[in-house]
Amino acid sequence: MRKRLIVIFAVALLLGGGWYIYQTFLAHRAQDLELQGNVDIRQVNLGFRVSGRIQEMRFEEGDEVHKGDVIALLDPGPNQDQVNLAKAQLASAEANLTKLQNGNRPQEIEQSRAQLELSKANLTNAELVFKRQSDLAKTNVISKQDYDNAVATRDINRAQVAAAQASCELMRAGFRSEDIAAGRAQFDNARANLENAERNLSDCNLLAPSDGTIVTRALEPGAIVAAGTTAYSLCLFSPVWIRAYIDEKSLGRIYPGMRARVYTDTNPGKPYDGQIGFISPIAEFTPKTVETRELRADLVFRLRVIVQNPDRYLRQGMPVTVKLIEGDGHVPSNRQP
């Protein structure tokens, strides 16, 4: 009888110890790692980078669009005119730069040389006249005025020869390096103006930046809009994450990259796989929209669970249940193995 009581006591002790371990570790752990959260999906407001008159709005609210789709257009006329003007200015600047780089034509150089020879010939003749007038002036055969005219003619022709000589040297040397640099700067400026005009023309097409669903159509064709005015609001298909909160007691048991399963009320039998992508370093009070078993005044930490392979059944703001999976073999860097 005594042995029987001992056996019963030992079994009861084992059962009690097992129950205590389960309640202390396993049950508490499962409860703490089941969180309530809401679906977050990014939304972007789309507008034209340039101003103008809306020519076409191609999609309605609820339509699905794909990355690169043209969803709206501005009247391209004014921007096309700017492109044409910039092309003409670029062609003029290019021609001027080519002229400066190539220097003077051989015909122009030859013309300058011929002008120099003509000036030299005129100077030779003027010097001969001066010599004759000088000899006559010594014998007072000519007047003082005739002598002065001969001197002036000689000096004028000397100056003309010097000017023609300098002009001929300039023709042979070509344009100054500073002039070429200025011409190149004008060409670069004209090219930049053309690129900007072409970019403005391209921006008359409003493109979808990613796959998503149109949730707001804010404008209609014919409206005159300023740059940046919202034309559409787009709800992106990806990324999709869950915004959830965890209390301080359980904070040490989670880590970025930790696996998770996301359950919806619509289809609880098919959870979504995910992982923790972000844990806030700042504590905050439990938001009123979050349902937890703890008091709402308790401090919690916000975390983000990235959903892998989301589908259209996950909607903005939808409440979900998040179950964090421990024991997947991952050891956080801030823990001892």
Q: Sketch the domain layout of the chain as residue ranges.
A: 44-76+203-233, 83-198
Q: pLDDT-derived band of residue 75, with 50, 70 and 90 as boundaries?
A: very high
| pLDDT, tens only, 87-108 | 999 999 999 888 877 766 666 6
C-alpha span between 49 and 228 (Å, rounded): 6
Contact criterion met (CB below 8 Å) for 255 and 276: yes
Non-local (6+) Cβ contacts of 303 within 8 A are 244, 245, 246, 254, 276, 278, 279, 280
Domain 83-198 in CATH 1.10.645.10? The answer is no
Res 335 pLDDT > 70: no
Tens-place pLDDT, residues 227-250 = 999 999 999 988 899 999 888 888
| Higher pLDDT, residue 15 or 234 | 234
Contacts of 290 (CB under 8 A, 6+ apart): 36, 37, 244, 245, 300
Residue pair 218/69 in contact by the 8 Å Cβ criterion: no
pLDDT, one tens digit per residue, over 119-133 is 878 878 877 877 777
* Mean pLDDT for all residues in the chain: 81
Among 6-15, 165-174, 230-239, name the one with the lowest average pLDDT. 6-15
The residue that leads in pLDDT, 328 or 116, is: 116
Which pLDDT score, from 0 to 100, does residue 172 have?
A: 66
- pLDDT level of residue 281 (50, 70, 90 thresholds): confident
Indicate the residue type of 248: E
pTM: 0.63
Tokens (6 digits) for 165: 């000589």
Residue 334 confidence (pLDDT):
38
E strands in 163-307: 205-207, 212-217, 224-225, 230-247, 259-264, 272-285, 299-307
Question: Hey, CA dihedral for 329, 333, 335, 337, is it positive or negative?
Answer: positive
Q: What is the pLDDT of residue 74?
A: 97
Q: What value, to the nearest 5°, has the Cα angle with vertex 120 and ends 135 and 162?
A: 105
Q: What is the pLDDT of residue 32?
A: 45
CATH T-level fold of 44-76+203-233: OB fold (Dihydrolipoamide Acetyltransferase, E2P) (2.40.50)
Look up residue 300 and give its amino acid: V
pLDDT tens digit string along 298-320?
678 889 999 988 888 888 889 99
- Determine the Cα–Cα distance for residues 242 and 240; give it in Å rounded to an integer: 7
Q: CB neighbours (10 Å) of residue 308? A: 14
How far apart are the C-alpha atoms of 144 and 142, rounded to whole Å?
7
Q: What is the per-residue pLDDT for 1?
A: 55
Return the pLDDT at 287.
57
Q: How far apart, in whole angstroms, are the C-alpha atoms of residue 310 and residue 159?
A: 90
Residue 105 pLDDT:
64
- Residues 264, 39: contact at Cβ < 8 Å? no
What's the CA gap between 203 and 74, in Å, rounded?
8
Cis ω on the peptide bond leading into residue 239 (within 30° of 0)?
yes
